[in-house]
């Protein structure tokens, strides 16, 4: 596995470079020339990305060796499953508050809270006490909820309400962030492997490296973002006074009212439009399975001695290749619809879990086949996320999108928690002696969930066969072109 992992990362990185070159030839950058030439916008974009990318880098550093760290502390797989469940459950608990906190504390202050809570989460990894590690997982759930909402909320607010830049410029910033995000994920695996395997600093080293990154992120938020907000001047104070009393009571009341209203409107949108409900079902099934995969990939491969940091980089490089293939598939040359790509991604994920049910037979493990199945699953993820994001932007109204996506995440995390609890129960029931059997059964359950997701995708596009909202602009075709 050691040689396989190193050959795989070289091949996948070369593949990504090749696909990027081809994609740039077929799909030239769509950035608005005015945005690129505007020095105020470029400065504002740089200030945001500087902090956001540091936060993402700290988050990715914790991915490769989390399970390995818990095993290093001699915890059983069933105990580790409970730790993961605590993290997912805290995501469910804190997800609603992640949209409410910025309205009460302020967006910048909530970003500082993220840096503080995630730093504390990383520092808990120094302890071998099970209760302290549970607290760390709860802090990690809070931090993840804040990372996925608060930074983008600050940027969009400043972009539209303060600088009054055109909304059409927003995608250029998040496209750049997504491009960097893939590279950061691959690099995080390599750096984590360097610290843990080559320098022999142990699996806690990447978590300790994440702390100064979060401190730097907090410093940028405190200083550069503070200067950015200071330029708002008296207009910001005027807006606060309009919301309520000077002591902030009116602001809190207004925030609560807006939060409650947005939740009700999002739920009404979800229940009234069958397309939105089907899309939410696809997301809940597909992404909950990914959480289970995040838990299982290490115990499947680690007994065979691969460098886990390099394996993690391979998985992230495979996902990057998938996103590049999506750009190629939906380019003007090939003109594939995002619905086709989404269906292909779910089908590939189903096939990968089907493979894993055979490669993880107790007593007859086939780690190379399992590694290949994991790479196929990450390739499917690279195709899935841009496709489902496009469909969400077309099906869900912009003003209700954040609330609807929050409702999507609720069954997503619950399904993942139930899956990990089922795995914990099966392992505990066998006394820990047949963990491979529980893993194999879980992969079989994931394959069934992917099959259900595939049926939901087919139902979605059967329902919207002639719906132009589900198509890319500029494609030709008559009725029934999607399916």
Is 253 part of any domain? no
Is 391 part of any domain? yes
Find all residues with CB under 8 Å of 234, minimum gap 6, and list them. none
The pLDDT of residue 436 is 55
Q: Is the pLDDT of residue 277 over 50?
A: yes
Find all residues with CB under 8 Å of 355, minimum gap 6, and list them. 369, 370, 372, 373, 376
Per-residue pLDDT tens digits for 105-130: 888 999 999 999 999 999 999 999 99
Nearest to 441 by CA among 453, 452, 429: 429
Is the pLDDT higher at 379 or at 228? 379
Sign of the dihedral defined by the CA atoms of residues 327, 330, 333, 334, in that order: positive
Give pTM, 2 decimals.
0.87
Strand spans (E) along 57-134: none
Q: Is the pLDDT of residue 236 over 60?
A: no
Question: For residue 331, what is the DSSP state?
Answer: S
CA–CA gap between residue 283 and residue 409 (Å, rounded): 8
* Least confident window among 19-23, 216-220, 373-377: 19-23
Q: For a pLDDT cut of 70, what percent of the chain falls above it?
A: 81
Q: How many domains does the chain have?
A: 1
Is the pLDDT higher at 48 or at 35? 48
Largest CA distance in the chain: 70
For residue 129, report the phi and psi dihedrals to the nearest 5 degrees: -80, 130
254 band by pLDDT with thresholds 50, 70 and 90: low
Is 469 part of any domain? no
Please compute, for residue 167, the number of CA atoms within 13 A of its CA located in the half-sphere on the CB side.
3
Give the SS3 label for residue 361: coil
Is 31 part of any domain? no
For residue 332, report the phi and psi dihedrals to the nearest 5 degrees: -65, -15
Is 483 part of any domain? no
Is the pLDDT higher at 95 or at 295? 295
Per-residue pLDDT tens digits for 469-479: 667 665 443 33
Per-residue pLDDT tens digits for 136-171: 999 999 999 889 888 988 898 888 888 888 888 888
Is 193 part of any domain? yes
CA–CA gap between residue 354 and residue 106 (Å, rounded): 47
Per-residue pLDDT tens digits for 183-206: 999 999 999 999 999 999 999 999
Q: Is the pLDDT of residue 31 over 50?
A: no
138-164: burial string, b at 16+ Cβ within 10 Å, e else: bbbbbbbbbbbbbbbbbbbebbeebbe
Domain range for 398 is 1-24+41-230+258-464
The pLDDT of residue 241 is 38
- Determine the straight-line distance between the first and last CA of the chain, rounded to whole angstroms: 41
Find all residues with CB under 8 Å of 357, minimum gap 6, and list them. 440, 443, 444, 447
* Least confident window among 55-64, 221-230, 236-245, 398-407: 236-245
The pLDDT of residue 477 is 39
47 band by pLDDT with thresholds 50, 70 and 90: very high
Q: Is the pLDDT of residue 253 over 70?
A: no
* Least confident window among 32-46, 134-148, 329-343, 450-464: 32-46
Per-residue pLDDT tens digits for 389-418: 888 888 777 666 666 777 777 777 788 888
Is 199 part of any domain? yes
Q: Answer for the pair 340, 330: CB distance below 8 angstroms, yes or no.
A: no
Is the pLDDT higher at 316 or at 240? 316
Is 477 part of any domain? no
The pLDDT of residue 427 is 60
CA–CA gap between residue 449 and residue 81 (Å, rounded): 20
Q: Is the pLDDT of residue 135 over 70?
A: yes
CATH of the domain at 322: 1.20.1250.20
Please compute, for residue 165, the number of CA atoms within 13 A of its CA located in the half-sphere on the CB side.
25
């Amino acid at each position: 596995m050691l040689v396989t992992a190193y050959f795989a990362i070289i091949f996948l990185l070369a593949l990504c470079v090749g696909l990027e070159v081809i994609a740039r030839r077929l799909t030239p950058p769509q950035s608005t020339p005015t945005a690129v030439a505007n020095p105020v916008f470029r400065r504002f974009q740089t200030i945001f990305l500087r902090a956001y990318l540091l936060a993402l880098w700290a988050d990715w550093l914790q991915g490769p060796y989390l399970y390995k760290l818990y095993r290093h502390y001699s915890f059983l797989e069933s105990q580790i499953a409970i730790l993961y469940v605590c993290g997912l459950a805290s995501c469910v608990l804190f997800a609603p508050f992640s949209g409410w906190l910025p309205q009460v504390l302020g967006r910048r202050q909530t970003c500082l809270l993220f840096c503080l809570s995630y730093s504390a989460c990383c520092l808990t990894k120094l302890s071998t006490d099970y209760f302290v590690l549970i607290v760390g997982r709860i802090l990690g759930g809070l931090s993840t909820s804040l990372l996925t909402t608060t930074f983008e909320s600050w940027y969009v607010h400043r972009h539209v309400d303060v600088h009054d830049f055109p909304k059409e410029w927003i995608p250029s910033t998040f496209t750049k962030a997504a491009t960097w995000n893939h590279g950061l994920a691959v690099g995080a695996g390599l750096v984590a492997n360097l610290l843990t395997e080559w320098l022999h600093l142990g699996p806690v080293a990447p978590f300790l490296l994440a702390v100064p990154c979060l401190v730097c992120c907090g410093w940028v938020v405190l200083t550069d973002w503070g200067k950015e907000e200071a330029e708002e001047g008296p207009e910001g104070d005027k807006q606060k006074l309009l919301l309520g009393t000077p002591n902030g009571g009116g602001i809190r009341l207004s925030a609560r009212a807006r939060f409650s209203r947005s939740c009700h409107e999002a739920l009404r949108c979800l229940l009234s439009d069958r397309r939105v409900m089907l899309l939410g079902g696809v997301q809940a099934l597909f992404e909950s399975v990914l959480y289970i995969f995040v838990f299982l990939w290490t115990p499947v491969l680690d007994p065979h001695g691969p460098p886990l940091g390099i394996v993690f980089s391979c998985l992230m490089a495979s996902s990057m290749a998938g996103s590049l293939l999506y750009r190629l598939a939906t380019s003007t040359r090939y003109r594939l619809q995002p619905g086709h790509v989404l269906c292909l991604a779910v089908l590939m994920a189903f096939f990968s879990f089907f493979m894993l049910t055979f490669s993880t037979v107790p007593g007859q493990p086939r780690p190379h086949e399992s590694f290949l199945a994991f790479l196929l699953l990450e390739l499917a993820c690279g195709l899935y996320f841009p496709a489902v994001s496009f469909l969400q932007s077309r099906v869900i109204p912009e003003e209700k999108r954040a609330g609807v996506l929050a409702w999507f995440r609720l069954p997503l995390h619950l399904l993942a928690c139930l899956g990990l609890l089922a795995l914990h129960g099966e392992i505990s029931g066998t006394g820990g002696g047949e963990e491979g059997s529980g893993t194999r059964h879980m992969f079989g359950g994931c394959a069934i969930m992917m099959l259900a997701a595939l049926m939901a995708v087919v139902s979605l596009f059967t329902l919207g066969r002639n719906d132009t909202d589900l198509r890319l602009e500029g494609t030709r075709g008559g009725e029934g072109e999607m399916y």
